[in-house]
Structure 1
Amino acid sequence: MKFVVGCLVAIIIGGVLLVFGTVSPCGMLREVQRKQDSVAAVLPDAVLDLALAAKYGSLTPGKCVALLLQLSRTAKNSVPQQPTQPVAVTKPVQPTDFQTAMQAASTVMAECRDRRLRGEIKTRLDSVQCSNPRVTQIFSAAHYRYMDLIEMMNSRREAIAKKQDQGQMTEEQAATEAQSLMAQLANIERTRDLRSNLAASAPR
């Protein structure tokens, strides 16, 4: 009996990992938000966690489970029942080069943030200035095509951190501002790519 239960648990955990890439309730909540929101899809974990905390309050595993159940019920109620049809198997969406580099950059940002929390770095601005040079190196090494957008991101992050240090912006406001910044960068990138593709396909 214990063996059967163990197998069932292993299957359930395997299924959760396959769908969400994590067994953490808050990690699953993060991935659900990314699937439902194109802006959230490009946010690094640290920024998305701040945005979720600003929206729902402090997150705990129990609260994340409750939010997942709530979002599941909302999705079921909002989608009308449709006749069952064969579903075409699609390839998973590959992350853009910006998203891939941003994942690595978010790790660097988190390291500098943790140094501030330990008292090794005094201010939020110091924390951002700690990570910005390495963030630039990461995107440069990834051969990201719009490095001016990274300069823009770094500059805006410094401005946000400075306002927080001066008491002119709360954590929630900073998270909202960061989310808006990432959406703006993603839109600029898409617009430039579209123009580039149109120019390349135009008859000569």
Structure 2
Amino acid sequence: MSTLPHVVESRGHPGLLAGLLSCALVVFVAFSEVTFAQSSQCMPGGTCCINGTCGTLEQFKRNATIVCLQADAIENKSLPQSIELAGRCTAAKIMAQRVEWTQQANAKEHQRALEAQRKLREMGAPLPAQPTAENPLQRAFKITSLAVDACKARRLRGELPSYVASVQCANPAMLQAFRDAQYKYIDLIEMFAAKRVEIATRMDRGELTEDQAKLEGDRVLATIQSIERQRDRGM
């Protein structure tokens, strides 16, 4: 699993550009492929990644329900169609089950670790130093990177038909991650998401190469950085 570089601090919160630049190449499909088998954040209420698809348990369950209802709703299916639809339904259910089982296992392991620490504390044994809590915006950058990589992988596998589809696949996770982090300039993230769609549309039309798209992305990020700095200075 890849990690993002250190995020620069700026007036009490990590600067947006510092984090976005670290995943800008990912966003504009210039990073090498990375496979995410399992997210270390896969705890109850958290985001999990299974076979390149990321989301909460509720999202996995909702997707399984939708896929299975779609399979049941289509009439006059041929045998190959029936088999394919049934397979998608089964796969969606299995992914939801894997998320649930993994979350339960991780929660139990976490509880066992807490219990072991409690017993050691009662015995007066020295406890290992606790890791520093991850900054919420650093976590948002990581979730964004995971989502972008997962959607790119789906595009390369032929599951998503275009650059736009890949961007639209990842944008909701990015927006939600920054909302969860309570980033105070969420409109900048929304602007970035919209610009990603614009650039991807031009790529699908053949108007931009991947290198040109990266340059366009750099210009967008520079604009966002300028706006962020002006707001931080109260201008």
In the superposition, the TM-score normalised over structure 2's length comes to: 0.45
Partners of 2:224 and 2:168 lie apart in 1 by 20
Q: Residue 132 and residue 48 in structure 1: after superposition, are their counterparts in 2 closer, same or farther (change >3 A)?
A: closer
Q: Cα distance, 1:103 vs. partner?
A: 3.1
Match of 2:142 among 103, 122, 125: 103
Q: Residue 50 and residue 148 in structure 1: after superposition, are their counterparts in 2 closer, same or farther (change >3 A)?
A: closer
Structure 2 alignment gaps of length 5 or more: 9-16, 33-133
Equivalent pair of 1:47/1:179 in contact (CA under 8 Å):
no
Q: Residue 104 and residue 46 in structure 1: after superposition, are their counterparts in 2 closer, same or farther (change >3 A)?
A: same
Confirm whether residue 141 of structure 1 aligns to residue 180 of structure 2: yes
Equivalent pair of 2:30/2:210 in contact (CA under 8 Å):
no
Structure 1 alignment gaps of length 5 or more: 1-21, 59-94, 197-204
Equivalent pair of 1:116/1:123 in contact (CA under 8 Å):
yes
Q: Residue 143 and residue 194 in structure 1: after superposition, are their counterparts in 2 closer, same or farther (change >3 A)?
A: same
Equivalent pair of 1:97/1:142 in contact (CA under 8 Å):
yes
Partners of 1:177 and 1:96 lie apart in 2 by 29
Structure number with the higher helix fraction is 1
- Please, what is the CA RMSD of the aligned residues? 3.5
Percent identity reads: 37
Partners of 1:51 and 1:125 lie apart in 2 by 12
What stretches of structure 1 move > 2 A for 4+ residues in a row? 39-42, 48-53, 95-104
Partner residue, 2:155: 116
In the superposition, the TM-score normalised over structure 1's length comes to: 0.51
Equivalent pair of 1:40/1:48 in contact (CA under 8 Å):
no
Q: Residue 52 and residue 162 in structure 1: after superposition, are their counterparts in 2 closer, same or farther (change >3 A)?
A: closer
Structure number with the higher strand fraction is 2
Q: Cα distance, 1:183 vs. partner?
A: 2.0
Partners of 1:49 and 1:128 lie apart in 2 by 8
Partner residue, 1:152: 191
Q: Residue 119 and residue 49 in structure 1: after superposition, are their counterparts in 2 closer, same or farther (change >3 A)?
A: closer
Partners of 2:137 and 2:162 lie apart in 1 by 28
Q: Residue 46 and residue 170 in structure 1: after superposition, are their counterparts in 2 closer, same or farther (change >3 A)?
A: same
